[in-house]
Amino acid sequence: MQKWKNVSFSSGPCAKYPQWESPNGILVGRSHRSVDGLALLEEVLDLQRKILRIPDDYHVGIVGASSTGAVETLLWSLLGANGIDIISHCVFSRHWERDIVEELKLQDVRVFREDFPKMADVRDINFDRDVVFCWTSTTSGTSFRNTDWISADRKGLTICDAASAAFMFDFDWNRLDATAFSWQKGLGGEAGLGTIVLSPRAMARLKSHQPPWPIPRIFRIADDKKVNSGIFKGYTINTPSMLCIEDFRNALLWAEQIGGLAALIQRVEDNYAVVCDWISRSYCCKFLVDEKYRAHHVACLDLTSEKYRKLPETDKWEFLEKIVRFCELKKIGFDFRGHILTKPHLRIWCGPTIEASRLKSFLQNLEDVCSEFIRELDGVGKNITDAFRN
């Protein structure tokens, strides 16, 4: 079996970009409010705006706690002035549903729910209300392809968790009012920090609406209808890791050098083509998600073995764990088991930092491993340890 030096296929933190090197740490120990520290933060904001083609009248800021903190910031700061429609079909959209209903205790809430691995129906969404949704579900491999379903003349705000969509889709920003995403997904940045992008309409909401609940300082981008404008100029609420910021800057520069957003999207499509080609020939695995709402950058797979399919769910997880652990032991691939809060499956990250040649080799090896485990399960193969000892 061919082995690769970088064999991480985790869906977050995700693989580093090719030719990644450890940041030099010039600003380690320096204040983020120093001239040099602030300049680095401003550069990261500017590069994100440029690569993601964010309009000039949109505000871009850096917040703590990755995409989770970024989404919470938007929910706690913007909601309460309007009725809410929640599109809830994945692990994280369920988190946002719980926060809105049980923590913020908002009453005028409609939930459009679907179970893994399907996508919720959006045809009855009312855009006179605020709409909360995840663009891509990393946990289930489902994704919107675009925002054509969002009304252009809406009265409410659209609040989008784009954690696993940023840098992999060409957003129509005119359909997005408040967007949050992490750094460790599309560009393989370090975890801990996230980005928020606010439209003029979202900024107007901050200036006209004071939520009735107390807002923790870490989420407080406005106070008494006064926006903390410094957040959008590099003045973060809490102290960020300058090492993480430098690392993300390097990832952004790599993205810019290879051709920007168009090149990143093409790398995703190249990887998706590799997976589709493999699936068309595989006798062990199949896609778990229907093509019409399947994410191209995160492949959720099911095993085709009839005996496996009849196993109890706990036994399925145990079987998949053996496959993943064996691949890790042989350094074939790391961290590709599905999310534990979903149904048993394998989940392979195929974002722009993954190279198609590396993905192809991994899948070829995965086919061999799955075949041997399935043969053992069916009672017709050798002990897996003996079969792959050499």
Domains and CATH numbers, the chain: 35-257 (3.40.640.10), 259-387 (3.90.1150.10)
Which pair of structure tokens corresponds to residue 8? 């991480």
At 204, is the secondary structure helix, strand, or coil? Answer: helix
Q: What is the pTM of this model?
A: 0.96
Neighbours of 325 (CB within 10 A): 11
State residue 263's pLDDT score.
Answer: 98
Q: How many residues does the chain have?
A: 390
Name the token pair of 159: 């609040």
Whether 255 and 20 have beta carbons less than 8 Å apart is answered as no
- pLDDT given at position 66: 96
Cα(240)–Cα(304) distance, integer angstroms: 46
The answer to whether 363 and 1 have CB atoms below 8 angstroms apart is no
pLDDT of residue 85: 98
For residues 107 and 220, the answer to whether their CB atoms sit within 8 Å is no
CB 189 within 8 A of CB 247: yes
Residue-level pLDDT at 4: 37
Per-10-residue mean pLDDT for the chain, 390 residues long?
A: 68 95 94 97 98 98 97 98 97 97 97 94 97 96 97 98 98 98 97 97 98 96 96 96 97 98 98 98 97 97 96 97 96 96 97 97 97 91 58
Backbone angles phi, psi at 106, to 5 degrees: -75, 145
| E strand or H helix at 161 | strand 158-161
Sheet holding 130-134, edge to edge: 59-64, 193-198, 178-182, 158-161, 130-134, 84-88, 109-113
User: Are the CB atoms for 347 and 301 separated by under 8 Å?
Assistant: yes
